[in-house]
């Protein structure tokens, strides 16, 4: 069942979404070789709580951390660990918060210095595909129009693998609501989009094949072929004539540029 949002509720989701992005930006300032992802997780949790919110992911269906941190061939749901980051790694941060009764949920993938050109291309094209999908989040279109736009840009034009097992979703008082928003599909198919729907659009795109598997921890999803994967996510209000992006990458991109350990400027 789709739960339509009022303008007031949408603004509360926007507040939560922007806090997520500021959290990711804060963590981005500390990403460098020799730092553990567990340390980054703890930074994120402290920042969220200092700003009057609760980490959405912590204890969600038993997930034990404040955020998902997925490195290299980890697609999503990565467990933060004591393992240290290295030059050339890519790191996906997926963060959720709940504040004033509403969730925000966003993700961004960073490349440490010396990441390969093909990996940087993957990040750039995956990020582009997110905005291609967002362009279709307009009343009167269907979910399949979003899905097709993402798949067209990543799989058909560039030969990447689009993960099938994990999808975007509705967002509001619950972290995951209807409708589901796959990153693959046919134009004109699926749920009809109407004003008042808020969705999280999140392409999860593999450098190689689309096939994935789940680690023994029961959460971390990895590519079967061991190749890198990228993940970006925005929260979007379906508008009458244009999608309204409730989240923002501005603070994240500023932190990315300011951090000498991160690649930037390749988008």
Confidence band of 267 (pLDDT split at 50, 70, 90): confident
Neighbours of 62 (CB within 10 A): 7
Cα–Cα distances (Å) from 97 to 33, 54, 128, 133, in that order, read 27, 6, 25, 23
Rounded distance, CA 40 to CA 47, Å?
Answer: 11
Per residue in 11-50, pLDDT tens? 999 999 999 999 999 999 999 999 999 999 999 999 999 9
Domain topology for 7-258: Creatine Amidinohydrolase (3.90.230)
- pLDDT band for position 266 (cuts 50, 70, 90): confident
pTM of the model: 0.97
Spatial CA neighbour of 129 closest among 233, 35, 215: 233
**Percent of the chain's residues with pLDDT above 70:** 100
């Amino acid at each position: 069942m789709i739960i339509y949002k009022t303008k007031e509720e949408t603004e509360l989701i926007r507040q939560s979404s922007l806090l997520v992005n500021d959290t990711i930006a804060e963590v981005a300032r500390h990403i460098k070789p020799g730092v553990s992802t567990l340390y980054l997780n703890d930074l994120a949790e402290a920042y969220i709580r200092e700003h009057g919110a609760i980490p959405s992911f912590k204890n969600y269906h038993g997930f034990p951390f404040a955020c998902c941190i997925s490195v290299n061939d980890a697609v999503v749901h990565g467990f933060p660990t004591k393992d240290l980051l290295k030059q050339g790694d890519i790191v996906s941060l997926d963060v959720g918060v709940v504040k004033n009764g509403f969730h925000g949920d966003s993700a961004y993938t960073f490349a440490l210095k010396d990441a390969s050109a093909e990996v940087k291309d993957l990040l750039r094209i995956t990020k582009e595909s997110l905005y291609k999908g967002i362009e279709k989040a307009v009343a009167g279109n269907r979910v399949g129009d979003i899905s097709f736009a993402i798949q067209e840009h990543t799989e058909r034009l560039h030969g990447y693998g689009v993960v099938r097992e994990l999808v975007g979703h509705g967002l509001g008082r619950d972290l995951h609501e209807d409708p589901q928003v796959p990153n693959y599909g046919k134009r004109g198919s699926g749920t009809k989009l109407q004003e008042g729907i808020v969705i999280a659009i999140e392409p999860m795109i593999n450098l190689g094949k689309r096939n994935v598997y789940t680690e023994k921890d029961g959460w971390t999803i990895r590519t079967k072929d061991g190749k890198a994967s990228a993940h970006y996510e925005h929260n979007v209000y379906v508008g009458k004539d244009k999608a309204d992006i409730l989240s923002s990458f501005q603070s994240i991109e500023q932190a990315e540029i300011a951090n000498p350990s991160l690649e930037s400027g390749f988008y």
